[in-house]
A and B are shown apart, each in its own frame.
Chain A
C-alpha cells in the first residue's frame, strides 16, 4: 500500500511537468493551429532563466584582502574564491538568503523574458508558416529547437548545472508517519510537493484567464471560429500572439521550477518534448482539459510501470508503457480522450 501511495505521488509530480508543457502546446495549437516542436526548448530556456538569474545573483569579485587562495597547492584564476556582490551590498545574512532563494525569485525574471521570447518567436518566424502544411511547421520548429539548444550549449556548456532549491525546501516530508505507516516508508521531497502545487496553480490560472476574462473569452471565440471574430472587427492575430507569449511563459515557468529536481542541461527540452506530444495526442489535440488529464494520467502510469513488482513480471515495460497507452487510446478513441471533431482532420 505504501509503495502504491509513493508511486501515485511520483506520478502526480511527473504528471505536473507533462501537464504544464502539454498545456502550452495545446494553447498554441488551439489558437494558432501550429504544431510547435520548439516547445520543449521553451521549457529548457525557462530552466536556463533560473540558471542565469542564479549566476547573476552569485556574480562576485575577488576581494583585495583575500591573499593568494591556493587549492591543492595551485592558485589559478578559476580557483580564487569570489565574494558575490549581493553579499557585499546587503551583508552576509541578507545576501546569502537572496542567493538561497534564487530559483523562486527567478520566476520574476523568467516571466517577462519568456513572454518576450515567445512573441519574438511567433512574430519573427512562426507567423510565416501559418498557411503552410503541418509538416513544414514541424520541420521549422524542430530546427528552431535544435538552434536554441546549441546556442545554450555554446554559452553554458553541455554539463548539467546544479541549481538547488532554497534550504527551507531541502529534505523530504514523511507521509508514512502522517498516514499511520512505518515512519520513513513514504517520504516525499518538499520541492516536488512545491512543484505539484505550483503546477496546479498555473493550470488553474490559465483556465481562469481563458474562462473569466474578456480577453480569454475573445481568444476562446477565436479558437472556435476565427473568421467570425475577425469579421466583428477584433484583431485576433494580436491576441493569438499574446497567447503564444503566455504559452511560452507557462513552459518557461515549468522549466524554472523544475531546476532543483534535476540539474538543467541543454537537451532537457528534448527529453520532455516527445512525451509531451504523446500527452497532447492522448488528451485530444486542441483540448486543454484533455492535455492536463492525460499529463497526470500518463505520469502515474509511468510511475507504476517502474515498480520492481511490475518490472519482475514485465521487464522493460517502463520504457514503452506510455506509447502502449497511446496506441490503445488512439485505437479506441481516435480523437484522444477529450478531442473535438474536426481538429487536424481537414
Chain B
C-alpha cells in the first residue's frame, strides 16, 4: 500500500509548485523543489526519515550483504552525528552536518534480497509500502539491481545501487530513479587491457569461461573487445552454468587448446571454484609456445580472494576501491582512511569494496536531498545528475547525467604472494585514470533503453 499523504495544504503546495513550473518553463532549481515536501511516495512527515537497505542476508552472498549492512549502519550513525563522522569530514560537498537529513533523524529498515530477483523485489516492495522507505539501496548482484531499480522507478522512490557490475544496470536497463556508484564491466576491460598488455604482451591467445547470466555476458564482451583491440586473439568462449561447482571438465579443454591466457568471467563462489580448479590443473605452471600461462579474473572482491586462499596469488583483476588506496597512493583518494578508521574501530577489520560503495551511496543520497532542499525524488535526481564530488575515497568523481553512472579511477589489483593475514590478500598494481575508462553514453555496449522520466509516485 502506498501512502498518498493527500492534504489541503499539500494540494495547495503541489498546485503552487506545478503552477510555478508551468509559468517558468526552465529547469527546476533546488529552491523550487524545496517547496514541494508532499506529493511523492513516502514523503517524510514527522521528525524522522526512513531508508531501506536491501542486502543479501541469506544465500551465498550473505557475508557480502553483512558487510554492506555494517557500512549502512555506519553511514546512518555518521549522518545522525554519532561516531567520528567518517567521510562527512572529507566529502567535498559540505552540505551534511550530522543532524540527519534536512534535520530529520535517519532511521532504517532492512530487507533480505537472498540474491534472487523476485525475493529482492518483494523485500524492497515491503520496505517501501509497509515501512515507508523513501530510498532503497544495497544488493550484491546485477540481476537484483536491475529488478529492484525497475521497482523503485515504478514506486517513485530513489534506488542507490549497491554492488552491481553489469553494463546493463546503467545501460539498457537504466532508469531515471536509479543511480550507480560502483564501476562496470566496460570499465574493468578498459582499465585492465593496458596493464595486461604491459605485463603479458600484446601477442596472446585468450580462452574465456563465462558464467551463463547477464553479468557474465557483459563482462566477457567488455574484456574481449578491450583485449582484442590491443592485439589479443580470443580462441574460445564457453558458458558455464551458474550452479556449476566443479569446473574440471571445463578446464580440461583449455589444456587441449593453444590458449595461453584463461579469463574467468565468474563471480563469488563460481570464481572461487573455477580458479581453484584451474590452479589444481597446473595452469599457473604451464608454458605455451614459450610463454607463461596466465589467469585473469576481471572482477575481484576481498571475500572472493579469501575464499580462493593462496590460489589468488599473482592473479590480476580490477576493483572499485581498496582500503589501502590513500596510504599507498596519496591524497587523491582522501576519504579512504577516514572511512577505514571508522569502520575498523567499530568492527575490528577493514571494509570491503561492497561496504564502501554502500556507505558512499547513502552519503551521496543524503547530500543530494540536502542540496536540493527536498526529499522529492525528482529533486534528488536533479541534484545528483552531473554532480561532481571528491573526498569519498575514489578521487574526483562525476555522476553522469546521461546514464546515472559514476565515473572515477579504477583500481587494478593482483593477489598478494605472501599476505600478512586474511584482509591483506590483494595488492594494488596500478590505478587507471578516469579518462581512460570513460565512454560515450551511446557506446554499443550500453545500447538500448533510456532513463525515461523521473517518477515521484504521485
Binding site for B on A (CB under 8 A): 2-3, 6-7, 10, 13-14, 69, 71-74, 76-81, 153, 157-162, 164, 171-172, 184-189, 191-192, 261-263, 265, 267-268, 271, 302-303, 306-308, 311, 318-319
Report yes or no: A72 in contact with B421, Cβ–Cβ below 8 A. no
Q: How far is the CB of A114 from chain B (nearest CB, A)?
A: 21
Do A189 and B252 touch across chains, with their CB atoms under 8 A apart? no
Indicate if B94 sits at the interface (CB-CB under 8 A): no
Chain B, interface size category, equals 35 or more
Residue contact A263 to B308, C-beta cutoff 8 Å: yes
Instruction: From B236, B273, B285, B344, give the contact of A74 (CB < 8 A).
Output: B344
B61-75: contact bitstring with A at CB < 8 Å (1 yes, 0 no)?
111000000000000
Whether B97 is near chain A, meaning CB under 8 Å from some CB there, is no
Instruction: Please give the residue numbers on chain B whose beta carbons come within 8 Å of chain A beta carbons, in ascending order.
Output: 58-63, 236, 238, 241, 243, 245-246, 248-250, 252-253, 255-256, 269, 272-273, 276-277, 280-282, 285-287, 303, 306-311, 323-324, 327-328, 337, 340-341, 344-345, 348-350, 420-424
Given the complex of chains A and B, what is the CA–CA distance between A157 and B62 in angstroms? 8
Does B255 lie within 8 Å of A184, measured CB to CB? yes
In the complex, what distance in Å separates the CA atom of A263 from the CA atom of B279? 13
Report whether B306 and A71 are in contact in the complex, using a CB–CB cutoff of 8 Å.
no
Nearest chain A CB to B409 CB, angstrom units: 18
CB distance from B328 to the nearest CB of A (A): 7
- Taking a contact as CB atoms closer than 8 A, the residue among B281, B286, B307, B349 that contacts A263 in the complex is B307
* B420 and A81 within 8 A (CB): yes
Are B280 and A261 in contact, with the CB atoms below 8 A? Answer: yes
Residues from chain B with a CB closer than 8 A to the CB of A7 are 249, 252
A74 touches B253 (CB 8 A): no
Beta-carbon contact of B349 and A265 below 8 Å: no
Q: Are B60 and A267 in contact (CB under 8 A)?
A: yes
- Contact partners of A74 in chain B: CB under 8 A: 323, 327, 340-341, 344, 350
Q: Is the interface of B mostly helix, strand, loop or mixed?
A: helix
Which residues of chain A are within 8 angstroms of B255 by Cβ–Cβ distance? Answer: 6, 184-187
Q: Is the CB of A164 within 8 A of B310?
A: yes
Residue of A159, A307, A318 near B63 (CB, 8 A) is A159
* Most central of B246, B273, B277, B328 by chain A CB within 10 Å: B246
Residues of B within 8 A of A271 (CB): 243, 245
**Residue of A whose beta carbon sits closest to that of B249:** A306
Question: B273 contacts which chain A residues (CB < 8 A)?
Answer: 160, 262-263
Name the CB-closest residue of B to A303: B249
Given A13-B248, A76-B344, A158-B60; 14 other pairs, CB 8 A cutoff: A10-B249, A71-B420, A71-B421, A71-B423, A74-B350, A79-B424, A158-B61, A164-B310, A185-B255, A187-B281, A262-B272, A271-B245, A303-B248, A307-B252
Measured in the bound complex, the distance between the Cα atoms of B337 and A76 in whole Å is 13
In the complex the two chains form, is A6's CB within 8 Å of B252's CB? yes
